[in-house]
């Protein structure tokens, strides 16, 4: 043990940059909804996702992160491009424009409606905020009221944080979008 150790002082640890594997592989299945929420999966873990019942993926990480880390490309290679949607959002705690996420929410809701055996993984970097927002939107599209959708997410995803601005983004979009018919696949 060195001098610093004997004094109870430790050297600073290097700060880890969020990337694939930052949140581990823990999938939180949301009740019986066939929706899983997690942090970004490692590219080498794609086959295991399918073994856990995942058939479709919604990636909520911004463009720069998916280009840098390659997770979106790995997901498309593993599941096929028509089984993966991208909702490129920054995690800033402010309103999320529907242009970034609404098509992905409709994609997931459509898959769950049209394919009774499908399991949709929705992930961001840590699986706490953006992915939870998108899962909330999918639950709302599937007919859950706001209270029940929030309760399901908070019950089954311990790490979940329902950011008020994100929830308001979903509710405003639902109020102004009119009847939404979820498409079964995204190009």
* Residue at 2 is within a domain: no
Q: Which tokens in the block code for residue 7?
A: 């004094």
* Residue at 18 is within a domain: no
Beta-carbon-side half-sphere exposure of residue 84 (alpha carbons within 13 Å):
20
Is-contact 74 43, C-beta < 8 A?
yes
* Residue at 6 is within a domain: no
Is-contact 184 147, C-beta < 8 A?
no
**pLDDT of res. 178:** 62
**pLDDT of res. 19:** 42
Residue 100 has pLDDT above 80, yes or no: yes
* Residue at 37 is within a domain: yes
Return the residue matching tokens 């944080």: 161
* Residue at 66 is within a domain: yes
Is-contact 168 140, C-beta < 8 A?
no
Distance, in Å, from the CA atom of 91 to the CA atom of 71, rounded to the nearest integer, reads 17
Residue 22 has pLDDT above 90, yes or no: no
Distance, in Å, from the CA atom of 59 to the CA atom of 123, rounded to the nearest integer, reads 5
* Residue at 3 is within a domain: no
For the domain that residue 76 is a member of, what is the CATH number? Answer: 3.90.190.10
3-state secondary structure 46-76: HHHHHHCCCCEEEECCCHHHHHHHCHHHHHH
Q: How do residues 38-82 score in pLDDT, each as one tens digit?
A: 999 987 788 899 999 999 999 999 999 999 999 999 999 999 999
Q: Which tokens in the block code for residue 16?
A: 């880890």
Number of folded domains that form the chain? 1
Residue 184 is given by DSSP the state S
* Residue at 88 is within a domain: yes
> Model pTM?
0.83
* Residue at 165 is within a domain: yes
Distance, in Å, from the CA atom of 135 to the CA atom of 98, rounded to the nearest integer, reads 14
Better-predicted residue by pLDDT, 107 or 25: 107
Three-state DSSP class for residue 26: coil
Distance, in Å, from the CA atom of 139 to the CA atom of 152, rounded to the nearest integer, reads 9
Task: Name the residue range of residue 89's domain.
Answer: 24-177
């Amino acid at each position: 043990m060195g001098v610093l150790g004997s004094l109870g002082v430790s050297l600073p640890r290097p700060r880890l940059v969020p990337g694939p594997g930052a949140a581990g592989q823990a999938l939180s299945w949301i009740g019986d909804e066939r929706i899983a929420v997690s942090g970004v999966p490692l590219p080498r873990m794609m086959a295991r996702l399918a073994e856990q019942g995942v058939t479709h993926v919604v990636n909520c990480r911004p463009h720069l992160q998916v280009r840098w880390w390659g997770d979106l490309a790995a997901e498309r290679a593993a599941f096929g491009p028509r089984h993966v949607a991208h909702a490129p959002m920054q995690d800033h705690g402010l309103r999320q424009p529907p242009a970034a996420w609404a098509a992905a929410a409709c994609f997931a809701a459509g898959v769950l409606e049209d394919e009774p055996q499908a399991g949709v993984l929705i992930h961001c970097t840590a699986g706490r905020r953006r992915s939870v927002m998108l899962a909330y939107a999918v639950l709302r599209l599937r007919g859950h009221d706001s209270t029940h959708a929030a309760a399901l997410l908070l019950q089954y995803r311990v790490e979940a944080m329902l950011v008020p601005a994100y929830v308001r983004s979903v509710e405003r979009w639902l109020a102004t979008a009119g009847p939404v018919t979820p498409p079964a696949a995204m190009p």
